[in-house]
Homo-oligomer: A and B are copies of this chain.
Amino acid sequence: MVFDTVKIRATVALVTDRYHHGDLRRALIDAAVASIAESGPSALSLRAVAKLAGVSHAAPAHHFGDKAGLLTAVAAEGYDRFADALERAWKATGDFVEVGIAYVRFAIDNKAYFETMFRPELLHEDDPDLQRAEARSNAALVRGAGEQRADAEFNPEALGAWSLVHGFAGLLMGGNFPPAVVADPEGALREIAKRVRFGKPE
């Protein structure tokens, strides 16, 4: 265990008098994220998470119902942070490429969240919190991608840009790219952006 158990338990201690054991929900999510960062979402163990947070082995299941429930909570929080990051990039620069950069930057900096978000078979996809957060990040994405009306059923340019950026992030994190790209992903993506043009067929 390389986790910072002390730190995670500290977040509990901070609010320890709110009820029985403080904001356990928060502590469990933090522990889960730490664990996912180490060995991926599919290897997550509820009992390990419980030990990390210093509670009994069944506490996580009680709070989230399920292992999938805990992962769903992580994913929902991930989508929220993701939406924040995209909106921030769009507001700061107004540049569509910068939103793409923010996309892969988020994937790199928040590996645990990102890996959990795009693994539907591990989640409760019907969870309202998850759906709300997902919708928020989708909205932020199309706003940044197209500045066209967001209600477009099928916008090829936006879908293409989204695919490109999402695929880039996925391949990068999967270790499928050459070392030069891994060393400076942001630079590589800018290079690609310079070489790609979207628009009506000639």
Q: Which residues of A contact B (CB under 8 A)?
A: 39-40, 42-43, 118-122, 125, 153-154, 156-157, 159-160, 162-171, 174-178, 180-181, 188, 191-192, 194-201
* Given contacts A167-B166, A167-B170, A197 and B200 within 8 Å (CB-CB): no
Copy number of this protein in the oligomer?
2
Which residue of the partner chain, among B39, B118, B163, B180, contacts A164 with CB atoms under 8 Å? Answer: B163
Pair B154/A162 contact, Cβ less than 8 Å: no
Which residue of the partner chain, among B118, B157, B169, B195, contacts A156 with CB atoms under 8 Å? Answer: B195
Pair B159/A177 contact, Cβ less than 8 Å: yes
Q: Is the interface of A mostly helix, strand, loop or mixed?
A: helix
What's the Cα separation between A122 and B122 when bound, in Å? 15
* Given contacts A40-B121, A121-B43, A153-B178, A160 and B192 within 8 Å (CB-CB): yes
